[in-house]
Structure 1
Amino acid sequence: MIFKELGILNFGKFENKIIELDRGLNLISGENEGGKSTIVNFIDGIFYGFSRDSLARKVRDDIFEKSRPWSTNLYKGYVLLSDQSEGYRVSRDFDADEISILNIENGEDLSKDERNYLNSRIPQPGLIFFDMSRRLYRSSFFISQRFSQVEEDAAGEIKNKIDNFSVSQDENLDLTKVLDKMNKDLDELGTKRRKTSEIGRTYGELEKITAEKINFASLRENYEKTAQAHKDAEEELKDLEDKMRGRKLFELQELKKKLKESQEEKKSQDENFDFSDLERAIEINRSTGLYSSKLDDLLSQEGHIFEIDDDAELDYKRFKEIKEEIALLNENNFSKEIEIISADIHNIEKVAFKYFLKIFLSCLAGGATVFLSIYFKKYFLIIFSIIFFTYSYFRIVKYRENKDLLHRLKNKLVDFKKKSMDKTIKKKEFDKDFAELLEKYQARDLKALSEILDEKKEENLKNISKNEYNESWKEKNHLEIRDTKEKISELEAELLKIFEKYGVKNIKDLKNLFYELKDYNKDKTSEYEYRIEALERENLSGEIYREESLESISDKIKEVTREISNLEGILKTQEESLEKLRSLEEKSFELEDKLKKLEYKRELLELSIDKFETFIKLRRRDTLPILKNNISNYLDKMTSSKYSEILIDDRFDIKVYDKNVGDYVALDRLSLGTMDQIYLAFRLSISKIITDKKIPLVLDSHFDSYDDERLKNTLEVLKDEEQVLIFSSSNREREILDKYNLTYNLIKL
């Protein structure tokens, strides 16, 4: 298989860059930052899309963003390749994740081939053409300068990569780390004896819980005994309740018999006792009482004179007169009149004073005018003094009117004050009279006194009316007394006959006789009916029980109920302890289950480690001889037979046989250039072991540490490969190729 053309349409710094490649050596030369690494990434991107293996979602590495075109939004390219005489065109739109794989010879389209999506949701044509994953492809057919200037580190890296490939077929996949991780996990699991390990801690917790469970050893047995006792008590209670129902059934039958007997007894008694006689006797007794009361009233009222309280009558009259006089006095509010007149006097005095000032000032002004006119001999000014004197005259008239009014008001004020004083004196006299009346009739206040006097007055009026009525009624009263006495005698004779019939002396004995009989029968019947009704409401059923009384059965039920209550309390306490025991058992079960899982995990890890170690040994045994042979052949050609054999012992220490020394030399004693040759021999060996396909090799600045001799020998080896792409920023490769007339295709960037 060879790449015939790289069509870098829009990728990194390149736009529409076409690179034609030939079979054999292809030297791609350019300055630093000239785009060599971009072309290497382009090849990786076309065949694998910068994808990381993931079928769950699309995942790319950082190269995808770093390789975006600088001057356009398009992100495309293609590769023309030839495989077993058939040509293919592989193109990719990186942004859209779209590929096109076309067989140029027969037009077959492999774009939808399922192999593109075996490892990733981003299509990978490399799986079709190289039959390997991106990781394996980059670790076998992509070769760069691998090492720094520290020889010890370089030797260690070569050793690790050869070891990794001998086991996993991938130089970057170190299965010994997986083995170390498994051993670490096994160590963390530990054993029962190592208490700090996970198994040890779990076993310790289980022992602690087991010790706690011992404290509850007898609890379950005690709980079962208590539960059985509780069950027996409940059964006994049920039996007692059945007996109670049976006894009640017996009581119900007996009560029905007694009720029937009571009803028959009542019927027999009703035939001997006539309740109409009792009713007649009661009626006669009541009528006799009424007539007797009437007779007493007639006798008591005959000749009776009701007393009239004359003193209360006089006090009532005097109280009303005082109230009327006080009402008349209160009609004249002298205090208000005095207040109004005093205010008027004050206002008039102020007005009079103003008039006096005006008179004084106007007279003064008139006098001053006369004086000044005479003094200055301006006699015509005397006319103006007349105005002032005229004004003074009218003010004097007003002043006198006010003084007269003031005099009258003062006289009126004196009169009102006298009347007010008289009114006060009278009120004090009335208060004294009221005090005497209040004390006489023991009244709290005037209102109470008024009520008392009103009652006295009303009582006097009634007594007067009665006295007047008695005078008119006295004549006919004697006839009514006689008739009433005769009626009473008739009723008493009839009542005596009833007493003699039933052998009693008075109405009370007769009532007791009838009522006792009636109440006795009624109470017995009611009691029987009530008890029968109460028992029938219970819907009793079952067998009749006669041996024990209701009270005895009830006492036993109370005793058993108390016992059940005590047992329930004990059970509740025991159940709380049992709950803790159940919790410990659940925890113990969880820990036992966890311990089983941990032990199983330990056994599984031990088995896995054993199998894995066996697998590694077998892989090394199968792969290392082939790998050693291939590396030795390549190294012999690259070093002109100086280093013709490589030795790898059981501890994976690598040595190279040096013909000049005649002995094996340790890897860390070799130069960086030699180690780069060994690494290249290793990578070439890998490419031959992992696949039969002749896939183009890509060497990116790999020969920087080679001297001219090493470079010439290595190029001599590489010229026999199907296709090699050498990327270089120097002219050394070109000069040596030209110097030794080696065929190659030169591409300048």
Structure 2
Amino acid sequence: MIISCIHIQSFGKINNLTLELDGGINIITGENESGKSTICNFIRFVFYGLPSKTEEKQKCISWETSRAAGYIIFSEDGLQYRVERDAVMTTSAEGKVSFSEKCTIYDNETNNPCLRGKNPGEEFFGVPESVFESTAYIRQLGESKIGGRSLLEASENILFSGDESAGTKKALKKLDEARKFLWHKNKSGGKIHDMQENLDSLEERIDASKSTGARLIYLDGRKRELTQSAEKAEKDAAVIKEELDTYERFSIKQAYRKCVKTKREAEELEAQREKLCDASATGGVHIYKSEYTERLRAYQSELKIATARYEDARTEMEAARKKLGDMNEKLAVFERFGSVEKRDALVHKVEEDKKALSSRKTVSLIGLIGTAVFASLFVASFIIGESGSAAIKTVFAVLAALCALFCAVGFIMAGGYAKRIRRVCAMFGCADYGEFDELVKASKKDEAALMYIIEGKRGAESKFDEASSALNKASAAIIRALEAAGFEILDNTALSLDRAIAKCDEKRSEIEKLEIMIREKKKSAEEYAAALASYPDELIAQSAKEDFPPELESYDYRKRKRDYEFLTRSAASSKERIYEIEKEYTELNAKGENPVKLAPEAEALKGNIAALTEKFEAYVLAIEAMESASGKLREGISPKLAKTAGKVMSKLSGGKYRSLGVDGDFAMSYFDGITHGVDSLSAGTMDIAYLSLRIALMDLLCKKSVPPFIFDESFARLDDTRLANTLELLYRLYGEYGQCLLFTCHGREREIMKSIGAFRQIDI
């Protein structure tokens, strides 16, 4: 079969889509959610109709038109056909969903209907929908598995009778029904069984007619015994019934008293709750409500933020004040040294000493490096041995000594300069030269520096004032809220707020506990009231006033109830048996059957039973013969499938897996020294294993026509090598005389097929 055209009028989310196809390989490419799976389901819909489940039917119906409609044009045995299918979903006023479906097969050249009443899939493919889905229709990733008993039975029917619907099971069922009609397996039913029962009854009647007189005497005596037994049972039952009625009134009184008590307790609890909910003591504020508590918690959060900002501002203000004081103190020290010329001379002297100190440190460092270099050369000349002259060694030693002396003198002079610098810095109250340098710079531009520090102090003080104001404002709002509800106000606002929140939570908790207790009491009262509702008001009023003996508290109601029911059943059984005895007595007395007249009827029944028994044995032999033939056929299916699937698997895996096992449920296995299920293989290898089985099933079952292979994103788990092997095999098997529809969102298939052979590319 070659599909040449697919037209989807409306199906799922697709409307008015037409695909033109060729024989061989067709690669249909589309993005995810572009409708590839919907097209695959449409092909199945056209050939086999809507699925059986309502929710799956609804997925086929167009979201816009409430219909599923379209057609497929294909060629088969030199003829061209068009299959049109239309399904409509309707919803009744009660919300019940129903579906109507119509399918017509046309000769596409003459446009005349043909093959009326036929299912297109079963007519052209020769297989039911379950076999089609397990062979030619390969779904998306993770759905490669096939099989089960239903597929095995359909395969057996096709091979045994050429018809998947008229299989050996149906034939065996009809034979077994005929056998059951005559005689069940355990001989407990059937026509022969009924006739045998009639014969037994007839023979019993013959025997009974001989002893009718004795039977009548026995029945009369038995009737007297049963009458006495029934009267005693009824008398005892009446006594117990009076006890049960008394206990029932006692139980009503108990339930009534508990109901009244429980209602009263519920009312008392409600009064306690109302007292707790009374807001007169809290200035009309319902402090137990969560809204009020949440408002207090919001105040608490605002207070914490305001307090934190206040502390930060205070710390910043104190730091600014200290910095201004420190700078003023140093400038005062600087001013005490007299004239500007004297201060400038000291500053100039320190700066000159600083430069000299730096140069002496540099010279000392050079001397140290020279000492290390010449000392190393001197040591190296001794290691080398006689190759160096004594004069060179002497030169190295002298140079090393001079460099060491040079370094020592430099360090001594640098120490003197550093000592003078520290002395001058101490005179100005500075710990080191860096602080002295900052003081000098500040003295040169003291007004600008002081203004900067003063502005910083003013900013910090302003920020502190704002934070202090915000804190006071938040505290005032909290105090007003707490005073309005009558809470105690302490010196610490935060502590007052914490205690108020705790009191609110405590009161709400008490109210919630009371509400739970109230609900439980009301529920119990309702249960008691419901139990009393089945009794008349007069009985309840009577029971409430009645006095009962104390022993009813321990009365075993269930036991006495069982005794009453036993006596009642016993009396009824005795009366029923008396009725049967009277009936039998009357019948026996009226019949007076003659054994001579009953004998010919018994002989005729024996002849009929013998004839039907012979027919029953013939049915049993036929069933055994068909089951034997069916078993041999079933045993031959798996080896054929395993052999064909193994050949295909070898080609798809590049010769790595050459044989496969297939059991009666189409579960697959392979052998590598130990037999494993294919589930232990990698995902891609398992996919090609089940693809091999599908191809083998197609070869075995599709005798009328090979349907197109439909692959819906089926190769996602295959690597490029195995994908190439798969496409090459499909091209070799179906590229010229068959058809494959490959639905994919990737470009791998297209690129690999370019190196294999011709194919049609379709983009959706």
TM-score interval for Structure 1 and Structure 2 normalised by the shorter chain:
0.3 to 0.5
Scaled by the length of structure 2, what TM-score is found? 0.39
Scaled by the length of structure 1, what TM-score is found? 0.39
